[in-house]
Structure 1
Amino acid sequence: MRIALFSDTFYPQVNGVARTLKRLTDHMEKRGIEYEIFVPELEDGIMYPNTHQFTSFPFLFYPECRTAIANPYNILKRVSDFSPDLVHIATPLTMGLYGIHAAKRLGIPMVASYHTHFDQYLKYYKLTWLSSLLWRYMKWFHTPFEKIFVPSSDTKEYLEERGFHNLSIWSRGVDCCLFNPEKKNQYLRNRYQIKERYILLYVGRLSLEKDLHTLYKIIEEMPAEFQKEIHWVIAGDGPSYKEVLDHVKDKKNATLTGYLDGEELAKAYAEADLFVFPSTTETFGNVVLEALASGTPAIVADSGGVTRIVQNNATGMICRAHDHEHFLETIQQLLIDEMKREKMGHSARTYALKQSWESIFDGLIEEYKEVIFKNKKKKMLLHA
């Protein structure tokens, strides 16, 4: 099997799409599947094997996704030389358009994966007037695909309501060896001199669409008797980094770590007492699953893919979206009830252990095979 993957973002860029696609290519190597990646130029000139990079500049609403400028003929030739069985388009920006063009010209079947609710981002940038135009484009863009992979049933329902077809769930997994309760070792307390009794953690991209304003209100309006017992750790980077820094720099009980990865991130999850994530725009919510794998209960909003990860009152709590008071009440309840918090942590870990990346990627590969077989059968019938 040969797969050509087109994306406007790829590892080491800091977002869930880039990390998921890197895991996918690692898994394809493990399974002996040949692949080539077509992406905009990566940070610091990083080069990966089997990767074609193109001149680019940051995309307006999502700087981690870059808008590539390339000669379509050069891409067509490279795809033709590789002769893939399938083209997988991961993003709806310029690399996606180049991929569609090449696949159509060469008669190669195509699948897509939908990762981001760009329409929900518009309200945070006061651009909701663009919503109908965006949806027209998204429906046009996704028309040629044999299958459109979505990360959760919530996202599948969201797109079905907007007239999308051929949707299939490609969920997300978690590395339960890396993200593990046993990684708890006082790392955060020692590195950032944390003295407070409880550590509350946020991990994720720092940008408006993560509903950071609700997070600010939760931090600022926590009652005094709890405030002195809590230390907030915010781990992440993104376009709102300076804004977040301005909000926490004068607070003795808040630390902004910047981007954490690997063992550092795993230790942070494991040491936290609660994971607090108010974002309403997630198609899945990888960071939430990582927290659960670490035995840390998650408190999330009742909107988006996170609601299909967290089992309310079992592995965490689901609060009303944008309602900081509901988040505050829930946090206080769980901090008071240590036994319930510990029970949730055990349930969270048990749930995460069933979410293996290997089985999820193998399922995707089986769907690849189904599309390839269907296409070959169609060609045989045409030539019969």
Structure 2
Amino acid sequence: MGHDVTVATTDLPERNFKVYNGVKIEEFNIWGSEVTGFSGEVESYKQFLLESNFDIIMNYGAQQWATDLMLPILDKISAKKVIVPCGFSGLYLSKYGKYFEKMKSLLRQYDSCVYLSNNYRDINFARKYGAAENCIIIPNGAALDEFELKPNIEIRAALNIPKDHFLIMHVGSHTGMKGHKEAIKIFKKAKIKHSTFLIVANSFGGGCIRRCLLAEKLYKYSPFSKLSDKKIVITFLTREETVAAYHEADLFLFPSNVECSPIVLFEAIASKTPFLVTDVGNSKEIIEWTNGGELLPTLKRANGFVKADVNKSVKTLENIYNDKGKRQFLSVNGYNSWKNSFTWELIAKRYEALYLKLIDDNK
């Protein structure tokens, strides 16, 4: 859109460029957060914030170093300040008690707080403590230039998935909190035949990667999988391959345990794929906005995390598997709502309008 944009982010050894599509990248060798502690080029980052002549500085996500290091110096930064809290995932955890006590007043120091939902813990926190006057809601989405055309990749052939299989897909890293365990149980118990459950996930070396790969291996040799012609595939894919898999999938299954506003749901409807999701983050709101999916029966916990009710979710999966008309209905509605309201191209204009208004107000 012709603006001068800089992204300040973690220094990654594999990143060998300083400009991407015209966006400048400032790298800092920093790890941690206020609660876990910081290490690295902390003072360099603070000086960068204080000395750079930006019109707008936007913090994306609380509870991480790029935001947490800016919080104590908010009043010293002359630029208009915007934050997208992204859910406050630690709000109900005792170790974050002091952090969120300070956040009650810090939110008021921002010129605008962008929330991804009208009814989730972060915006409700702001309302409860009188910090909602500067609120605006701008949802997540999926990119038109990425999803409008299906990539020319034969993903079923590449992953050895039969052409006639009903393909169920999940996208989410092996953090242990994306519901892989419940999703595998739901798929295994469901009375559906000639089907494949594909989990696309990257690994950080821990989390649930070992458990997931073991479940895949054991199911491969299970007599139940052979009798019903079902298989589980767990793999990492490139971004283009992932988009191709979205387009090829018949259903998106996402029983995640904690979210803010799951982008994967928007990516599913952008590929005309209906979804099933736990009542996590603002997934219920996304269903109301898009009419592109349904809720899985969900068990809620006191710490803010959720878990799919596996046995009841099995019935939900079986019902939608056997109802082609409903899947088509959700597919069409979801795709049309995405095209009309939830492309990043449209959402970017809403952010631009906010930024320009803040600058105009300043003038």
State the partner residue of 2:304.
Answer: none
Letter in structure 2 aligned against 1:343: F
Distance 1:364 1:257 in 2: 35
Letter in structure 2 aligned against 1:366: A
Cα distance, 1:314 vs structure 2: 4.4
Cα distance, 1:286 vs structure 2: 0.9
- Decide which structure has greater helix share: 1
Letter in structure 1 aligned against 2:159: Y
State the partner residue of 2:279.
Answer: 302
Aligned with 1:352: secondary structure? helix
Letter in structure 2 aligned against 1:135: F
Return the match for 2:352 from 361, 365, 369. 365
State the partner residue of 1:288.
Answer: 265
Return the match for 1:171 from 115, 134, 139. 139
Alignment: residue pair count: 331
Q: 1:248 to 1:319 in 2, by over 3 A?
A: same
Aligned with 1:95: secondary structure? helix
CA contact (8 A) 1:89 1:113 kept: yes
Distance 2:197 2:16 in 1: 34
Q: TM-score, normalised by structure 1?
A: 0.76
Q: 1:113 to 1:276 in 2, by over 3 A?
A: same
Q: 1:191 to 1:135 in 2, by over 3 A?
A: same
1:108 aligns with 2:86: no
Cα distance, 1:177 vs structure 2: 4.4
Gap runs ≥5 in structure 1: 1-30, 123-127, 377-384
Q: 1:358 to 1:104 in 2, by over 3 A?
A: same
Equivalences for 1:88-127 in 2 at 5 Å?
88-92=58-62, 93-100=64-71, 104-119=75-90
Cα distance, 1:190 vs structure 2: 0.9
Return the match for 2:177 from 209, 212, 218. 209
Q: TM-score, normalised by structure 2?
A: 0.80
Equivalences for 1:1-384 in 2 at 5 Å?
31-49=1-19, 50-57=24-31, 69-72=40-43, 74-75=44-45, 77-79=47-49, 82-92=52-62, 93-100=64-71, 104-119=75-90, 128-139=93-104, 141-155=106-120, 157-160=123-126, 162-163=128-129, 164-165=131-132, 166-180=134-148, 183=150, 187-195=154-162, 197-223=165-191, 226=192, 228-238=193-203, 239-252=207-220, 253-262=231-240, 264-311=241-288, 314-321=291-298, 322-354=308-340, 355-376=342-363
CA contact (8 A) 1:235 1:260 kept: no
Percent identity between the aligned chains?
Answer: 19
Cα distance, 1:186 vs structure 2: 8.2
Q: 1:117 to 1:248 in 2, by over 3 A?
A: farther
Q: 1:304 to 1:75 in 2, by over 3 A?
A: closer
Distance 1:119 1:171 in 2: 21
